[in-house]
Amino acid sequence: MSSAQPVTLFLGHETVRLSASNGSLGHLIERESFASEQQLGPKITQVVLANDASIREFLKGDPHSERVGPVVDHLLREAHYVSPKSFASVDIRDQLKALNHLYRAEDETELMVCITSLVQTLGATSFMYFLAEDDANGRPVSYRILTSHAEALQNYVSLRYYATDPFLIRSRHSPEPFFSSDFGMIENMRGQRREIAERARAMGMKSWIVVPAHCRGSNNFGTLYVANNVLPADGGEECLRESQALFRSLSAQVFEWYMKKEVALAFANTRLSTFELQILSARKRGFTLELIADILNLSPTALKRVHVPSINHKLKAKNIHEATKIADDQGLLTVVSDRKVAYVIYSESRGIFLRADHGCPFFSKMLAGDLQEAQIFDDRASARELIDRVMPNQKDVVQLRRVDVHCFATTATKEECVAAGMPAWESEAEPAEVAEWPTHSVSSGSYH
């Protein structure tokens, strides 16, 4: 995903960082905001899939639209924004296909297209998805909020409703879905609860289902808000209740997508080798360094003087015990196996498919450049989707080859491809380090 250079605005008590990025299925606008003075609350990042209507809503709801508007226009021009085509699913087969596709989404634009398409066909008109991060004491640190109703989200954030939102408070502690009627009739509400409910209704969000998603032992959780423009008394909740199972699956899939990306990103940022992860995994299981050295066929001296210092340096840890805890907290030691089987695309005449750039496929025998690794796919379906999109005239001649890679890998090394029976390739240059191909525009190395 490519992006324009972010712009930071200092707006009184609020600092706003705006960015626009170009993904596989469109453009995203991000508005990150936090208090300019003391820590008065969590960092809030609003994420909107850009189209002409959502841009108008986004600016209409922004309390600083006169400053934000010109910046958004500039960022979208820099990111080569083009208004996307409309999209919609029509039946249950499309819905299930979209759910299956969602987990394989390449980036957030594709993720948001899947969510939007699904909620529209399940009797809803808008959604918000909260990716929340808490500290060790359960206090909110950040919210990343995806939405199809930009104006409503701008109002929600500017009025700090996230601090008292009963849906969000309940989602933090409960995995069960709930509905707008679970909080009683709006006429009997008081204070900010009633204010939130009335504003939501005025913006066409009259009946709600809210679906949390949790992961045991994690400080993160997700919450899907889905609404339509029909009052509960007029049957607005009924279609939401009938689709409750699909909404639960959708919320869980989105949350798992982010958690998978976070772990892969943490692995890439630490630059730990697979060998070093084996050492850390063994330490987590309680093995001594002497036993680890014996298992991995190392001398204890090499382990202590070479590998352990390297691990500590990469994780910024004081000792191997702290390094093990850091790696475990980042989700790097939770897998059953450190290997997985994936697929690469192979052609007898063109070699191994390495990657696609702006719709142009690069193979090991053609246009390899300095590429050292090949793109991998978790399953045949995702590989075939790329073939149909990028190289449809090659689909009858390319093959899918299985390759054994590290469990967090997003590419296969030249050595792993050779081990799977495919030919090696010569590159124009052999750089000392090959960076991961970027998968999104989050400069901080995290979605939070």
Structure token pair of residue 417:
């491809």
Q: How many structural domains does the chain have? A: 3
d(CA 383, CA 14): 44
- Whether 108 and 198 map to the same domain: the answer is yes
Phi, psi of 178 (to 5 degrees): -150, 170
| Cβ proximity of 371 and 428 under 8 Å | no
What is the Cα 308 distance to its own chain's centre? 31
Same domain assignment for residues 317 and 345: no
Q: Residue 433's pLDDT is what?
A: 42
User: How, if at all, do strands 126-134 and 220-228 pair?
Assistant: antiparallel
The SS3 of residue 63 is: coil
Reported residue count of the chain is 448
Say if residue 85 is in the same domain as residue 102. Answer: yes
Beta strands at 220-228 and 373-375: parallel, antiparallel or unpaired: unpaired
Q: Is 140 helix (H, G, I), strand (E, B) or coil?
A: strand
One domain for residues 176 and 318: no
d(CA 41, CA 184): 28
Give phi and psi for 209, each to the nearest 5: -130, 135
Q: Cβ(239)–Cβ(123) under 8 Å?
A: yes
Residues 313 and 402 reside in one and the same domain: no
Whether 20 is in a domain gets the answer: yes
Q: Chain centroid to CA 339: how far?
A: 22
Long-range CB contacts (< 8 A, 24+ apart) of 50-59?
Answer: 50/20, 50/26, 50/76, 50/81, 50/84, 51/26, 51/83, 51/84, 52/83, 54/29, 54/148, 54/150, 55/29, 55/150, 57/149, 57/150, 57/151, 57/152, 57/154, 58/29, 58/31, 58/150, 58/151, 58/154
Structure-block tokens of residue 296: 């991995």
- Spell out the residues 6+ positions from residue 384 whose beta carbon is closer than 8 angstroms to its own: 395, 400
Q: Does any domain span residue 426?
A: no
Exposed e or buried b for every residue in 303-328, given b needs 16+ CB within 10 A?
A: beeebbebbbebbebeebeebbbbbb
pLDDT at position 268: 83
**Domain match, 260 and 282 both:** no
Examine the domain organization and report whether 237 and 384 are in the same domain: no
Q: Residue 341: what pLDDT?
A: 93
Residues 354 and 382 in one domain: yes
Q: CATH code at 284?
A: 1.10.10.10
* Cβ-contact 245, 234 below 8 angstroms: no
Residue 162 in domain: yes
Residue 436 lies in a domain: no
CA distance 105 to 102: 5
Question: Per the domain annotation, does 288 fall within a domain?
Answer: yes
Residue 375 domain-assigned (yes or no): yes
What confidence tens digit (pLDDT) does each residue in 87-141 have?
Answer: 555 566 677 777 777 878 888 998 998 899 889 888 899 999 999 999 888 889 9
| pLDDT for position 230 | 94
Sign, CA torsion 422/423/429/431 = positive
The boundaries of the domain holding residue 308 are 271-329
* Residue 334 within a domain: no
Cβ contacts of 114 within 8 Å, gap of 6 or more: 98, 99, 101, 102, 105
Same domain flag for 23 and 171: yes
Residues 242 and 378 in one domain: no
Can you list the residues of the chain whose pLDDT is less than 70?
A: 1-3, 36-40, 85-93, 334-337, 427-445
Distance CA 291, CA 295 (A): 6
Domain final position from 265, 280, 307? 265
Domain boundary among 329, 358, 378: 329
d(CA 2, CA 5): 10
CATH number of the structural domain spanning residue 241: 3.30.450.80
Distance CA 88, CA 86 (A): 7
3-state secondary structure of 28: strand
Written as six digits, the tokens of 84 are 């996307």
Domain match, 208 and 120 both: yes
- Of 265, 291, 306, which residue sits at a domain end? 265
The reported pLDDT for the residue numbered 1 is 57
Q: List alpha helices for 140-243, DSSP H.
A: 150-158, 166-173, 191-202, 236-242
Domain membership of residue 445 (yes or no) is: no
Q: Read off the pTM.
A: 0.77
Q: Is residue 217 domain-shared with residue 155, that is, in the same domain?
A: yes
